[in-house]
Chains A and B, each alone.
Chain A
Amino acid sequence: MASEPSVDVDRAGGVPLVSMRGIVKRFGDFTANDGIDLDIRAGEIHALLGENGAGKSTLVKILYGLLQPSAGEILWSGRPVVLASPVAARSLGIGMVFQHFSLFENLTVAENIAAAMDQGLSLGAIAARVKEIGERYGLQLDPGRPVWTLSAGERQRIEIVRCLMQDPRLLVLDEPTSVLTPQEAERLFETLESLRDQGTAILYISHRLEEVRRLCTQATILRLGRKVGTVDPRSVSARQLAAMMVGAEVGEVRADAGPAGAPVLSVRDLSLPPASVHGIALRDVALEVRAGEIVGIAGIAGNGQSELFGALSGERPANAASTIVIDGVPVGLQGVNARRALGAAFVAEERLGHGAVPAHALSDNIVLTRHAEPGISRLGFLLPAAAKALAERVRTAFDVRAGRGDPAAATLSGGNLQKFVVGREMTRQPRLLVVNQPTWGVDAAAAALIRQALVDGAKAGAAILVISQDLDELFEISGRIAVIHDGRLSAPRPAGELTREAIGLLMGGSGEGAHAH
């Protein structure tokens, strides 16, 4: 505990800055939080760990005034408080950085901050404060830049600066590194450490255990709505932390892929102009994925990943038929269903709204990508019983935990819906699988299951292309890795010959980095 001598605020007195006592939150007959205690002290970075569905988001929403607890109390510096709304939470000094940014693309940095402020400040005053905060915490931002020109890391900085404008005493961050390069993440850690040293309490929600062990001095672990315990994450291994989260040892993914076979997907001279003003052009993308291998594509969000996925899936036709070849058939101008008919399957990045229809039942979401199969529809009529049976099969095979009956996709946790969406494609036993961000925002246990499924799929002979921002994931499962930057794809190289640093440099756009070691 006494590892930070520079911190003397509060800790000596022993009164935590915020103390959640016996928090209970029920939704109908479902208990999301069951008697949770959480103490966060000034000048400490406290991790909140747990699988999806463990109750992390509920607890954080209560702390930020978005939800009211069914029972329990919250003490602020020892005094009971009621957090009736985010405005009340902010006025106490609680700031929140959400996982998904809420920024207006066409507005500037300063305008975005002005839009979120409770009190009115002139744009000039905001710009000055942005500069001042930027210098103090190493959060460089140009207040006059429009948001659409910024990288994910810079966008996140806006959200953090937005919080820091209010001089928060407690800063809550939800999965903050999920969109950052390793280098950007390291800069974020330095910012958080400097905030901590100035006495700010930080609640850090993550499932990246190495990160938590690097940054946090306390970690509270939740499982199935209950608190498992609070530990010093540096005193236990990542495996032990993961075991506390899931209540069992997490199996390691076995990535012993066999020799690669014939090419299933060949991409040559794939160039596409941007689909929208803020889109990225694809430039001369070339790539080959063979049966039985997993090829990984690394890159920072917004460098053409979704454009590449759209071109490969056929949601947007390519520049010529011959630029995309599946199993010897030129499909560049074909739609997504023609490609599916050739044995291709696709998993989109966005689960809700792209890979699945949030308001529709799981069985209806089976129909979404499999409606052309004779078992699912006949002569234009749906066969609901077949779709239900298939949904049930996917749920069993991929351990999808969802409500009884045929619940709507939106009611599933992120991890469970992702398992469902991946399972929907894997149960087709595809010849080719293209996955964009397979485990984005997914808990450790679900991520391990999905990666294992991908590895097993390759072993069974599928050609698999994984687009991911998670380098650990790519190193874990891919045989070869390429990097996408500004719509250009580097030549794939065997994962064993690459280092994180080399890839990090390619992700940042400096090509010579690949040869630096």
Chain B
Amino acid sequence: MRIELVRRAHPSALARALAPLAALAVALALGALLISALGRSPAAAFDVYIRSQLTDPWALTELVIKATPLVLIAIGLSFCFRASLWNIGAEGQFVVGAIVATWLALSGFGASPWLLPALLILGAAGGALYALIPAILRVRFGVSEILTSLMLVYVAELLLDYLVRGPWRDPRGFNFPQTRLFSDAAMLPTFGDGGRLHLGVLIALVAVFVAWIVMSRTLFGYRLRVTGDAPRAARFAGFRPASTTLAVFAISGAMAGLAGIIEITGQMHQLRPAISPGYGFTAIIVAFLGRLHPVGILAAGLVLALTFIGGESAQIALKLPFDVTRAFQGLLLFCVLAADSLVTYRIRLVSAAGRPA
């Protein structure tokens, strides 16, 4: 008995469109099994994770706030992934972007109206430079960007830990490992009910729109599609793989760094040892669930944000560890990739005698 993947002659366009929804449905079913294996009622979990979140205005606002960094990072990653380059280190670039910009925020430039734009630019630049490390290693020495970008996440997290416990610790912070609170000039303008929605939400929407134009209308987007789909053809077109690699890593790093400083200036207003619940990793799932399409990423960002806020509620209401959320996110990625494969291929079981079983 053998399992073969047979390429479909004509992959169905309908199946391709529905694949992410099917993946979501299967992941929810598997999630329900996981919950019942942990001795909780799947119905109660559904209520806590999804229904109560979508009916509560406070939670809906929270959903948008959580989706903002996910969408920003995933938009950047989609540039990489479209060119078949694998930046797994957005989490680290998120942290470094926040650190670099925080340096300016703490260095005591008073109430200049230029402070906020400068912070955002510094955040993006920090993330971009940090992402260029694995890109340069790949271009110059052929090092796998997957490994280096991932390992640099831990370097960034330890650097953050050192700064907030050491040189940047707030002297009047009762020894808590955190920096001083940012001045008002270093906080993103807010709007909406309760003033919790911040400018970052709009920045994410602009990023979606710009990415959509770049991907579909420009020679650069074309270059990424060709590089991802047929690297030899890309070289034949005169698109040098080295500059493509550097460009997409710089873009994805900049977006992650921007998300990092938006999270700080919009929400936390100070650095702490943990500034991300894993946005940089979850954004990989967002990018794939959204089909690497900017509008898809917007939708997928909201779905994954729901798992974060649902997971937080479940910790309290169901006494379920946050690891369940991470496990569900992993299941979802697995289902998305499987669904995409099954659109292109069908499974055939072949018996030893060679007859399809």
Asked whether A416 is an interface residue with its Cβ less than 8 Å from the other chain, the reply is: no
CA separation between A353 and B9, bound complex, in Å? Answer: 19
Which chain B residue has the least Cβ–Cβ distance from A316?
A: B235
- A509 — which chain B residues lie within 8 A by C-beta? none
Of B218, B219, B226, B233, which contacts A355 at CB under 8 A?
Answer: B233
C-alpha spacing A359/B230, complex, angstroms: 9
Bound state CA distance, A372 and B238, in angstroms? 10
Contact of A371 among B217, B225, B229, B237 (CB under 8 A): B237
Name A387's closest neighbour in chain B (CB-CB). B222
A272 located at the interface, meaning its Cβ lies under 8 Å from any Cβ of chain B in the complex: no
How long is the Cα–Cα vector from A196 to B35 in the complex, in angstroms? 67
Q: Which of B59-67, B311-319, B325-333, B349-357 contacts A (4 or more CB under 8 A)?
A: B349-357
In the complex, A135 Cα to B304 Cα: how many Å?
65
Produce 1/0 per residue, B213-245, CB < 8 A to A: 000011110100110011011011110100000
Chain A stretch 42-99: residues in CB contact (< 8 A) with chain B:
65, 84-88, 90-91
How far is it, in angstroms, between the C-alpha of A380 and the C-alpha of B238 when the chains are bound? 15
Nearest opposing residue in chain A for B348, CB measure: A85
Give the one of A314, A340, A354, A355 with max B CB within 10 A: A354
Residues of B close to A90: CB separation below 8 A: 354
Q: Is A191 an interface residue (CB 8 A)?
A: no
| A152-179 Cβ-contact flags toward B at 8 Å (1 or 0) | 0000000000000000000000000000
Q: Is the CB of A88 within 8 A of B226?
A: no
Indicate with 1 or 0, residue by residue over A83-118, a CB within 8 angstroms of chain B CB atoms: 011111011000000000000000000000000000
Residues from chain B with Cβ under 8 Å of A367 in the complex? 219, 222, 237
Chain A residues with CB under 8 Å of B226's CB are: 357, 360, 368
A84 touches B354 (CB 8 A): yes
Query: Cβ of A382 and Cβ of B218 under 8 Å apart?
Result: yes
B10 lies within 8 A of chain A by Cβ: yes
Q: In whole angstroms, how far apart are the Cα atoms of A28 and B236 in the complex?
A: 34
**Which chain B residues lie closer than 8 Å to A371 at the CB level?**
219, 222, 237
Q: Which of A340-372 contact B (CB under 8 A)?
A: 340, 346, 348, 350, 353-360, 364, 367-369, 371-372
Known: A337-B238, A382-B218. A354 touches B355 (CB 8 A): no
Interface string of A369-396 (1 = CB under 8 A from B): 1011000010011100000000000000
Pair B354/A27 contact, Cβ less than 8 Å = no
Contact B233–A368 (Cβ < 8 Å): yes
Q: A residues within 8 A CB of B225?
A: 357, 360, 364
Q: Are B229 and A315 in contact (CB under 8 A)?
A: no
A364 to B10, CA, bound (A): 20
Q: Is the CB of B220 within 8 A of A380?
A: yes
Query: Contacts A353-B230, A368-B233; is A28 near B10 (CB within 8 Å)?
Result: yes
Interface core residue of B226, B229, B236, B237 (most chain A CB under 10 Å): B236
Instruction: Note all chain A residues with C-beta closer than 8 A to B238.
Output: 314, 335-337, 340, 372
List residues of chain A with CB within 8 A of the CB of B229: 357-360
Cβ of A313 within 8 Å of any chain B Cβ, yes or no, is yes
Within 8 A of A (CB), among B157-186: none
Whether A382 lies near B219 (C-beta < 8 A) is yes
- Asked if B354 and A353 sit within 8 Å, CB to CB, the answer is no
How many residues on chain B are close to A (CB under 8 Å)? 23
| Candidates A87, A91, A337, A358; contact of B230 at CB < 8 Å | A358
User: B354 touching A336 by the CB < 8 A rule?
Assistant: no
What's the minimum C-beta distance from A143 to chain B, rounded to whole angstroms? 27
CB of B219 within 8 A of CB of A377, answer yes
Give which listed residue, B9, B240, B354, contacts A88 with CB less than 8 A: B354
* CB-based contact A354/B233 at 8 Å: yes
- Contact of B10 with A336 in the complex, beta carbons under 8 Å: no
Q: Which residues of A contact B233 (CB under 8 A)?
A: 353-357, 368
Q: Which of B1-44 contact A (CB under 8 A)?
A: 9-10
Bound Cα distance A289, B182 (Å): 70
- Residue interface bits B113-139, CB-to-A below 8 A is 1, else 0: 000000000000000000000000000
Say how far B164's CB is from chain A's closest CB, in angstroms.
42
B345, chain A: closest CB distance, angstroms: 15
How close is A436's CB to chain B, nearest CB, in angstroms?
A: 11
A335-B237 contact, Cβ under 8 Å, with A357-B230, A380-B219: no
The answer to whether B9 touches A27 (Cβ under 8 A) is: yes
Q: Pick the residue among A27, A85, A346 that contacts B355 (CB under 8 A).
A: A85
B249 to nearest A CB, angstroms? 20
B236:A87 contact, CB within 8 angstroms: no
Distance A315 CA – B240 CA, assembled complex (angstroms):
9
Interface residues of A in 208-244 (CB under 8 A from B): none
Please name all residues of chain B whose beta carbon is closer than 8 Å to the beta carbon of A65 when the two chains form the complex: 354
Which residues of chain A have C-beta atoms less than 8 A from B9's C-beta? 27
With contacts A27-B10, A88-B355, A368-B226 known, is A348 near B236, CB below 8 A? yes
Q: Which has the most chain B C-beta neighbours within 10 Å: A85, A91, A355?
A: A85
**A381 and B218 within 8 A (CB):** yes
Say whether, besides A380-B220, A382-B217, A368 and B237 are in contact (CB < 8 Å): yes
Give every chain A residue within 8 A of B218 (Cβ-Cβ): 380-382
A474 to B277, CA, bound (A): 66
Contacts of B356 in A (CB 8 A): 84-85
Quick one: CB contact mask for A302-324 with B, threshold 8 Å, 1 for yes?
A: 00000000000111000000000
B232 touches A353 (CB 8 A): yes
A359 to B82 Cα, complex, angstroms = 14
Complex CA–CA separation, A337 to B354 (angstroms)? 50
Closest residue of chain B to A356, judged by CB? B233
Contact of A354 among B217, B222, B230 (CB under 8 A): B230
Nearest CB of A to B73, in Å? 25
A382 to B225 alpha-carbon distance, docked (Å):
13
Task: Give the docked Cα–Cα distance between A357 and B229 (Å).
Answer: 7
Contact (Cβ within 8 A) B236 A369: yes
Q: A385: shortest Cβ distance to chain B, in Å?
A: 12
Whether B350 lies near A350 (C-beta < 8 A) is: no
A166, chain B: closest CB distance, angstroms: 13
Set B10, B236, B350: member contacting A85, Cβ < 8 A: B350
* Residue from B219, B236, B355 within 8 A of A313 (CB atoms): B236
List A contacts of B230 (CB < 8 A).
Answer: 353-354, 356-359
Q: In whole angstroms, how far apart are the Cα atoms of A27 and B10 in the complex?
A: 9
The answer to whether B350 and A87 touch across the interface, beta carbons within 8 angstroms, is yes
- Min distance, Cβ A406 to any Cβ of chain B, angstroms: 15
Given the complex of chains A and B, what is the CA–CA distance between A463 and B354 in angstroms?
A: 54
Measured CA separation A301–B220 after assembly (Å): 35
Rounded to whole angstroms, the CA-CA distance of A340 and B325 in the bound complex is 54
> How many angstroms from the CA of A257 to the CA of B232 in the assembled complex?
34
In Å, the complex CA distance between A229 and B280 comes to 65
Docked-complex contact A336 and B236, CB < 8 angstroms: yes
Chain B contacts to A: CB under 8 angstroms: 9-10, 217-220, 222, 225-226, 229-230, 232-233, 235-238, 240, 350, 353-356
Beyond A336-B238, A368-B226, 9 additional contacts (C-beta under 8 Å) are A336-B235, A346-B236, A355-B236, A360-B226, A371-B222, A381-B218, A381-B219, A382-B218, A382-B222
29 A-B residue pairs with CB within 8 Å = A84-B354, A84-B355, A84-B356, A85-B350, A85-B354, A85-B356, A87-B350, A88-B353, A313-B236, A314-B238, A315-B236, A335-B238, A336-B237, A336-B238, A353-B233, A354-B230, A354-B236, A355-B236, A356-B230, A357-B229, A359-B229, A360-B225, A360-B229, A364-B222, A368-B237, A381-B217, A381-B219, A382-B219, A382-B222
List chain A positions with a Cβ less than 8 A from chain B.
27-28, 65, 84-88, 90-91, 313-315, 335-337, 340, 346, 348, 350, 353-360, 364, 367-369, 371-372, 377, 380-382
